[in-house]
Structure 1
Amino acid sequence: MILLSFALIGINCGKGDDADAGKGISAVSDDKSQQDVLKIAIGSKDHTTLVAAVQAAGLVDSLANQGPFTVFAPTNDAFAKLPAGTVDDLLKPNQKDTLKNILEYHVVVGNLTEAILKSEFTGKDDELGMANGAHTKVTVKNGKTLINGATIIASIPATNGIIHVVDTVLLPQEKK
């Protein structure tokens, strides 16, 4: 299960004069309430394979920057659906460019909520441009949002975008 962390707001309820107005309100700033997409993935037991892949591809700094990013984050179970040996092969240093291309196919520059995906990218000719330069199709089936057939199973806001947890690894199509 994916747990979302919520920022707590502390309010000073003590008596004070007008000079103290507003001084008692602060937002908690800690590792749980202020997480970027990378920190959220690192903290998820369901995304250890994704984190290992991001590290092997050298994309850690990219996902930790300001963004905003929309990340379609496959779970460990999604990676397990790939043919045996695929993940191990992709994590090898000589496959870094291939791995980077696959991972960038899971990222959109911008903060696209599921509502935006459903309303703006589900037309017959509408495609979503991914960070690797390729495109995906967004469809809605039985009320669920799909990206090239991968179902969004949860959405988690981050300080630099949003993560949509998906049940399938997105694989870029070969150029014809």
Structure 2
Amino acid sequence: MTLLRKSLLALLISGVVATPALAGHHNEAKPAGTIVDVAAGNADFETLVAAVKAAGLVETLSGEGPFTVFAPTDDAFAKLPAGTLEDLLKPENKDKLVAILTYHVVAGKVKAADVVKLDTATTVNGQAADITVEGSTVKVDNATVTATDIAASNGVIHVIDTVILPD
């Protein structure tokens, strides 16, 4: 393992990259419920939770898992072109919304220490997302990981700053 990756790993494990709103949630001793519960309990994920509900994925993401979710914040959804989110939330676009949301989910529990060792991650929708490490920055496709290892009873959440889109 290179010095850069060891340094990044230490940084990620220490929680230095955690946002203040999520700091302290990376302690695995007492997960705060399922992935859906954790997201619903954080004001930064209101749009994500609404999208998960519109896509009919609440039951799935509340299931046994384990799952790893690269969770876009409300600010990430706000970066989408005007009208995109509103269109995706329409019932007639449910399949497209499901495809996008499942592109943010990886089967299994992939902690930050493991993410930095990967070049790609196969998502639940079947496509692979690219993972790159640039200096102290970890990216999933074009999204920067801003917080890691937020524990849930059925997996782990890594926060990203951009909605990633499948091909």
Q: Please confirm whether the aligned pair reaches a TM-score higher than 0.5, indicating the same fold.
A: yes
- Cα distance in 2 between the residues matched to 1:157 and 1:54: 19
Greater share of residues in helix: 2
Scaled by the length of structure 1, the TM-score of the pair is 0.78
- Preserved CA contact (<8 Å) 1:145 1:152: yes
- SS of the equivalent of 1:88 reads helix
- Cα distance in 1 between the residues matched to 2:66 and 2:106: 9
Give the C-alpha shift of residue 4 in structure 1. Answer: 3.5
Structure 1 residue ranges without an equivalent (≥5): 9-31
1:23-45, CA deviations, whole angstroms, 9 ceiling, x for partnerless residues?
xxxxxxxxx85411110000010
Q: Percent identity?
A: 48
Counterparts of 1:99-110 in structure 2, within 5 Å, are 99-110=97-108
Q: 1:135 to 1:7 in 2, by over 3 A?
A: closer
State how many pairs are aligned.
Answer: 145
Q: 1:39 to 1:129 in 2, by over 3 A?
A: same
Counterparts of 1:109-128 in structure 2, within 5 Å, are 109-119=107-117, 121-122=118-119, 127-128=120-121
- SS of the equivalent of 2:116 reads helix
Counterpart residue number, 2:154 = 160
Q: Name the larger-Rg structure.
A: 1
Give the C-alpha shift of residue 7 in structure 1. Answer: 8.2
- Cα distance in 1 between the residues matched to 2:77 and 2:164: 10
Counterpart residue number, 1:25 = none
Structure having greater relative contact order (Cα 8 Å, sep ≥ 6): 2
Counterpart residue number, 1:129 = 122
